[in-house]
Amino acid sequence: MRAAIVQWEAMPELRQKITATIRRGDTSGFIGECLEVAVVTQGATVDETIENLRRAVALHLDGEDPADFGLRECPTLLVTIEVQPSYARAW
């Protein structure tokens, strides 16, 4: 009796978070960009840019299987805001 050898392929780990950064625009406003999915947007304020990121990500994933992007169902958005050292103040 021969034992069957079964190769086990590990399932890739699906991420819960989509990472995005927000930075000042070249001339005005703010630019938001996601790292895991191809989404870039802008806004006049940080709050507007975050809302635009949420909407753009939702549209990008609409009708798609999040696993195709390495994501779990209903991923969250983790936003980091970049500031120039001249804007930061030591307290």
Q: Where are the domains of the chain?
A: 22-81
pLDDT in tens, 43-63: 999 999 999 999 999 999 999
Q: Are 66 and 75 in contact (CB under 8 A)?
A: yes
Phi-psi region of 28 (alpha: psi -120 to 50; beta: other; left: phi over 0): beta
pLDDT in tens, 15-47: 899 999 999 999 999 999 999 899 999 999 999
Token pair 């958005």 in the structure block, residue:
77
pLDDT in tens, 70-84: 999 889 999 999 877
**What is d(CA 58, CA 8) in angstroms, rounded to the nearest whole number?**
34
Q: Element (H or E) spanning 41, and its range?
A: strand 40-43
